[in-house]
Amino acid sequence: MGKVFDALQRAEEQRAQRAGEGAAAGIPPVADAAGASVQRTFEAPSPRRSLWRRWLALRSRGAEEDAGALNKRRIALLQPQSFVAEQFRTLRARIDSLAASQPLRTIAVTSAGPGDGKTMAAVNLALVMSMGVSSRVLLVDCDLRRPRVHESLGLRVEAGLAEILRGAAELEDALVPVEGTALQVLPVRSLPSNPSELLASGRMRELVEKLVVRFDRVIFDLPPMLGLPDAKVVSDLCDGILFVVRAHMTPQGDVESALEVVDRSRLLGIVLNDADATPDRYGYAG
């Protein structure tokens, strides 16, 4: 955990330096999560304020994304031999290793706020998991407010999660295979007016139980953890949780606040997205 906070601290320092902000004189050093002393060079915004700014930034981009952003979300499909795809294979291997000692049929992928890369991580992890021999893998888009899985994989959606939870469609009506892979997807079609209530319903719990019987591994792409109850509700139904942090972007305060909400007993680890890493060093370069 300390390495993640160190990376976030360095990212904030670099960003402040680029913006021409210097360290305030006379401000005493503070301790990071690992107990090391670091010099504070910025005033960290509150999680609520930083989340609001990030939501506004995402809205200002418009609904359409460029081809590069979409391709990045499915890089394990487009470039299966790339360095990034290999990092997701490494993540898959670590999860498989953990699964030898604890049940890990259902895995939730979330983040503190929007724009951290949770959908990218969920899509690529599901893709590399589906490459296993005789693996039955399902990717479920649980973001009933801002779904992105179907766009990332170029899927045509006839029915989705909301329709199943409302009783308007059966599971078979909503499952979509990803062409050229063994992966199946349960996407989102309509955006309901009561997403939190649907995800907290008994039908959602029954659906998860049904999916566990049918698939070897189910990956849930959840909404961000902060500001909404949706991610907490669904993550409590899953065996494990992966938490995505974006280097140079996710404020440390947001990470700390989100990890206070997450059930730590289910937390498998943190995926550091968009880090300054190279194949001969460490981590994942997004």
Q: Are 241 and 267 in contact (CB under 8 A)?
A: yes
As a whole number, mean pLDDT of residues 215-241 equals 96
As a whole number, mean pLDDT of residues 99-115 equals 95
Question: How long, in residues, is the chain?
Answer: 286
Residue 282 has pLDDT above 70, yes or no: no
- Pair of tokens at residue 138: 């399902």
Is 12 within a domain? no
- Residue 26 has a pLDDT of 36
pTM score, whole prediction: 0.74
Is 117 within a domain? yes
- Residue 39 has a pLDDT of 31
What is the distance between the alpha carbons of residues 270 and 282, in angstroms, rounded to a whole number?
A: 14
Is 19 within a domain? no
Of the chain, the percentage scoring pLDDT greater than 90 comes to: 59
- Residue 127 has a pLDDT of 94
User: DSSP character for 116?
Assistant: S
Is 166 within a domain? yes
Count of CB atoms situated within 10 Å of the CB of 274: 20
Higher pLDDT, 144 or 38: 144
- The band of 72, judged by pLDDT with boundaries at 50, 70 and 90, is low
Nearest alpha carbon to residue 113 among 4, 262, 210, 251: 251
- Residue 46 has a pLDDT of 54
User: DSSP character for 222?
Assistant: P
Is 18 within a domain? no
Q: How many CA atoms lie less than 13 Å away from 60 in the CB half-sphere?
A: 6
Query: What is the chain's mean pLDDT, rounded?
Result: 79
Q: What is the pLDDT of residues 178-224, one digit of tens each?
A: 998 999 999 999 999 999 999 999 999 999 999 999 999 999 999 99
* Domain encompassing residue 244: 67-273
Instruction: Specify the CATH number for the domain of residue 230.
Output: 3.40.50.300
Q: How many domains does the chain have?
A: 1
Residue 246 has pLDDT above 70, yes or no: yes
Is 1 within a domain? no
- Residue 138 has a pLDDT of 98
- Residue 109 has a pLDDT of 98
Helix axes 47-60, 252-261, angle to 10 degrees: 110
Higher pLDDT, 233 or 273: 233
Count of CB atoms situated within 10 Å of the CB of 23: 13
Lowest mean pLDDT among 60-74, 91-105, 132-146: 60-74
Q: What is the pLDDT of residues 154-163, one digit of tens each?
A: 999 999 999 9
* Contacts (Cβ under 8 Å, ≥6 apart) of 121: 109, 242, 244, 271, 273
DSSP E strand boundaries for 115-172:
137-141
Is 254 within a domain? yes
Report strand pairing: 217-221 vs 106-111: parallel
Is 21 within a domain? no
